[in-house]
């Protein structure tokens, strides 16, 4: 998605981006140090803090995915599913650790970064207790799918390496494929189940969007990352200071439009009405 | 130990092992095919079944360890412990998959092999519900330690490659180290806790030995693997044939002696009375 990328304009060259190097002069390649940490991130403590905040959230979502997949594995109807689901759970830990490693590279504390989101989905989980194996699968696919989409949107505003790490983590869709295959097979010959799951999907997306809304209110750093002005490739210093660091007045409605559209796409893959 | 490897005799060359290459003597390395499956295992369906049975049990124990570590991670007192414990859980899945891969190499069905032990520790878990974080840690260290020791003993009777896989899996003691460090630190300055944990340890080992006893009664294959006649370094072929395949009349008391000794060693590492 390129919704947030402003076209590069004349004001861009005066920003914190590396100056065009006359024979790699004083500023040549000053934009990144040996760890792949762009100078803009290091030089701007507020932007660094926002980056670490998003990385902490992504790591926590993987931790939550691990716990959920492990629990799913314990109640899976067949041994084969148990084996697969616990393998997915283990993969979530590998992904989480990749994100934590990036936080360390940025010089921040990984335990504090993930720990601040320890209970981020507790409310969501309490309100959306699945009552069947199918509801459980759909919750994984739809509910956490919204959270992933949100992180993907916010990742557009990160430095290149952090964005690469986040997108790689979020794109590992093996578990989604399992959910799709099983739900599709189950719903195909059961109209009652399909209707019930469509209703469940609407409930899940409503609760999930509520989580995003609360996050944007409680976490100005995340709000800044998805704010349209922040997503410009290299904003002017003055703009950046004035608008980039302050939290935007309203949670961007564009974000919710995008999340809803992705949800609709996801449900239609299952042959369910969003 | 090479307990089950019959000295290559005339009967070996007529098995399913690949014909000896010209130039390699009649018996030269005919004992193993390209997958590392010894001809003795392949040629002897009963011994192959026993091997797969033990591998299934080891795989299941790793699956159970995964589920337990994942649950421990969910209730860990600190974020740091949560991160570590879920990492250990993920490692258990890697180990489980190594064992399942060996089952596939032996030409058996990994899902059936692990699935037959799906509820092997359910009773044990129901009878030993930890009431504190420390009891939980001790249960992991002591309770499942007995199961691991049993598998280690039985592994002596496997073909070389299967034994290597099992011992590698059981020797990955990172989680035990965590339990030891934490329990040691906690017990050092709390006599009441130490006394309580010593009592808990006795309860755990009693229940764990009960599990082993039931397994040996219900699973003649496992009983055959730990039967004393099998443990002789190089038994005569005739003895091996006669006694090695039939289930022994009594569960070997030597096994229980060994398991109890290991338990005592384990408790004393914690400064607790066994």
Residue A49, CA distances (Å) to A44, A45, B236 in order: 9, 6, 72
Task: Tally the domains of chain A.
Answer: 1
Residues of A in contact with B175 (CB under 8 A): none
Q: Among A66, A83, A115, whose Cβ lies nearest the Cβ of B86?
A: A66
**Which residues lie across from A38 on neighbouring strands?**
A32
Q: Which of A141, A175, A180 is nearest to A73 (CA)?
A: A175
Q: Is residue A257 part of a domain?
A: yes
Specify the 3-state DSSP secondary structure of A45.
helix
Chain A residues with a Cβ under 8 Å from any Cβ in chain B: 63, 66-67, 70-71, 73-74, 79-80, 82-83, 86-87, 89-91, 93-94, 96-97, 100, 111, 114-115, 118
Q: Is 70 exceeded by the pLDDT of residue A255?
A: yes
DSSP letter at B211 equals: H
Measured in whole angstroms, how far is the alpha carbon of residue A225 from the centre of its chain? Answer: 11
- Asked if pLDDT for residue A70 goes beyond 60, the answer is yes
pLDDT tens-digit readout, B239-264: 444 444 445 445 578 899 999 999 99
Contact flag B66-A70 (C-beta cutoff 8 Å): yes
Closest CB to A111 among B74, B80, B100: B80
Q: What is the DSSP string of B129-185?
A: --SSHHHHHHIIIIIHHHHHHHHHHHHTTS-HHHHHHHHHHHT--HHHHHHHHHHHH
Least Cα separation, residue B78 to chain A (angstroms)? 9
Contact state of B111 with A83 under an 8 Å Cβ cutoff: yes
Q: What are phi and psi of A252, to 5 degrees?
A: -65, 120
Q: Can you tell me the distance from the alpha carbon of A199 to that of A205, in angstroms, rounded to the nearest whole number?
A: 10
Which positions in chain B touch A115 (Cβ < 8 Å)? 79
CATH number, position A124? 1.20.1260.10
- DSSP SS3 for B8: coil
Domain range for A85 is 35-269
Residue B15 resides in a domain: no
Chain B nearest-CA residue for A64? B74
Stretch B41-48: mean pLDDT, rounded? 76
pLDDT on residue A38: 58
Tell which wins on pLDDT, B16 or B150. Answer: B150
Count of residues making up chain B = 274
Instruction: Inspect the interface and report whether the beta carbons of A111 and B86 lie closer than 8 Å.
Output: no
Among candidate residues B141, B143, B138, the one with its CA nearest the CA of residue B125: B143
pLDDT confidence bin for A242, thresholds 50/70/90:
very low
Burial level of A2, CB count in 10 A (0-12/13-18/19+)?
Answer: exposed
Examine residue A1 and state whether it is found in any structural domain, yes or no: no
Instruction: Choose the weakest-confidence range: A65-69, A193-197, B184-188.
Output: B184-188
3-state secondary structure at position A132: coil
Q: Which of B70, B82, B111 shows the shortest C-beta gap to A80?
A: B111
Residue B24 lies in a domain: no
CA distance, residue B131 to nearest chain A CA (Å)? 21
On whether residue A170 sits in a domain, the answer given is yes
Sign of the dihedral defined by the CA atoms of residues B250, B252, B257, B260, in that order: negative
- The reply to whether B100 falls in a domain is yes
* Band (A143; pLDDT cuts 50, 70, 90): confident
Rounded Cα gap, residues B202 and B195, in angstroms: 11
**Which of B79, B87, B91 is facing A115, going by the closest CB pair?**
B79
Measured in whole angstroms, the distance separating CA A233 from the mean position of its chain's CA atoms is 19
Closest C-alpha among A53, A17, A27 to residue A232: A17
Tell me the chain A residues in contact with residue B115 when contact means C-beta distances shorter than 8 Å: 79
Q: Which residues in chain A touch residue B91, judged by CB atoms under 8 angstroms apart?
A: 90
What pLDDT does A192 receive? 87
Instruction: For A168-206, write each residue's pLDDT tens digit.
Output: 998 766 667 777 787 877 777 788 888 899 999 999 999
**Residues of chain B contacting residue A71, judged by C-beta atoms under 8 Å apart:** 70
At B39 the pLDDT is: 54
The answer on pLDDT for A237 being more than 50 is no
Least Cα separation, residue B93 to chain A (angstroms): 6
CB A90 to CB B87 under 8 A?
no
- Provide the mean pLDDT of chain B: 79
Inter-residue contact B267 to B139 (CB < 8 Å): no
Q: With respect to residue B26, please indicate whether it lies within any of the assigned structural domains.
A: no
Looking at beta carbons, which residues of chain B come within 8 Å of A111? 79-80, 83
Contacts of A63 in chain B (CB under 8 A): 82-83, 86
Q: Residue A106 pLDDT > 50, yes or no?
A: yes
- Identify whether A23 is part of a domain: no
pLDDT at A247 over 70: no
Say whether A83 and B114 touch across the interface (CB within 8 A).
yes
pLDDT range class, residue B128, cuts 50, 70, 90: very high
* Closest Cβ opposite residue B90 in set A73, A82, A90: A90
CB contacts of A117 in chain B (<8 Å) are none
Assess whether pLDDT exceeds 60 at residue B207.
yes
Q: Flag if A66 and B89 touch (Cβ within 8 Å).
A: yes
Q: pLDDT at position B240, please?
A: 42
pLDDT at B235 over 50: no
Flag if B67 and A63 touch (Cβ within 8 Å): no
Burial of B31 (0-12, 13-18, 19+ CB in 10 A): buried
Which residues in chain A are contacts of B120 at CB distance < 8 A? none
């Amino acid at each position: 998605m390129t919704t947030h990328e402003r076209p590069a304009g004349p004001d861009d060259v005066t920003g914190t981006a590396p100056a065009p190097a006359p024979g790699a002069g004083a500023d040549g390649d000053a934009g990144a140090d040996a760890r792949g940490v762009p100078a803009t991130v290091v030089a701007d403590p507020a932007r660094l803090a926002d980056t670490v905040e998003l990385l902490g959230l992504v790591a926590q979502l993987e931790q939550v995915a691990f716990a959920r997949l492990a629990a799913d594995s314990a109640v899976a109807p067949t041994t084969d599913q148990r084996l697969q689901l616990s393998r997915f759970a283990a993969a979530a830990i590998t992904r989480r650790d990749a994100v934590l490693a990036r936080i360390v590279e940025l010089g921040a504390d990984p335990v504090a970064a993930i720990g601040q989101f320890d209970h981020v989905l507790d409310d969501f989980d309490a309100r959306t207790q699945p009552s069947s194996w199918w509801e459980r699968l759909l919750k994984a696919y739809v509910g956490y799918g919204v959270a992933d989409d949100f992180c993907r949107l916010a990742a557009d505003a990160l430095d290149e390496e952090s964005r690469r790490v986040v997108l790689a983590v979020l794109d590992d869709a093996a578990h989604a494929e399992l959910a799709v295959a099983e739900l599709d097979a189950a719903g195909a010959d059961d109209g009652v189940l399909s209707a019930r799951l469509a209703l469940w999907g609407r409930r899940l997306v409503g609760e999930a969007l509520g989580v995003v809304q609360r996050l944007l209110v409680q976490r100005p750093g995340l709000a800044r990352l998805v704010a349209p002005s922040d997503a410009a490739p290299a904003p002017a210093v003055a703009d950046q200071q004035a608008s980039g660091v302050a939290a935007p007045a309203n949670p961007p409605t564009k974000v919710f439009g995008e999340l809803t559209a992705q949800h609709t796409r996801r449900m239609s893959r299952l042959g369910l009405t969003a």
